[in-house]
Amino acid sequence: MDITCLTREGLHTTMKMNWNMMFFRRVPHQENAVATNNISIWMGTIFIFALFSAFRSDSYTGCYFTWIMLQFIFIVIYAPSVLT
């Protein structure tokens, strides 16, 4: 990977974090510390689910089947919090 690709990915991640911060501040009217904590929890959950799905798909079942099932579970859990 070259430096421009890494820079672009870093900027993209920063923009997503800023959008999440604005959402948590404006919609549920949370304080900065609470909003930052919620963002950290959600980002950690996303990364843990990705690692868990990679382990499960490589170890036990077919790659795409496990990935699709875990993404479905993630959407079912995540969608209600986004829609409220």
pLDDT tens per residue across all 84 residues of the chain:
455 655 666 666 666 666 677 777 787 888 888 888 888 888 788 778 877 877 777 777 666 777 788 788 888 887 777 676
Q: What angle do CA 30, 34, 38 make, to 5 degrees?
A: 105
Please state whether 29 falls in left (phi above 0), alpha (psi between -120 and 50) or beta.
Answer: left
CA-CA distance, 64 to 45, in Å (whole number)? 20
Count how many domains the chain has. Answer: 1
Total-model pTM: 0.46
Tell me the CA distances in angstroms from 44 to 3, 4, 50, 61, 62, one per residue in order.
26, 26, 10, 24, 25
Question: How confident is the model at residue 71, as a pLDDT?
Answer: 81
Look up the domain containing 16 and give its range.
3-83
Look-up: residue for tokens 């990915």? Answer: 9
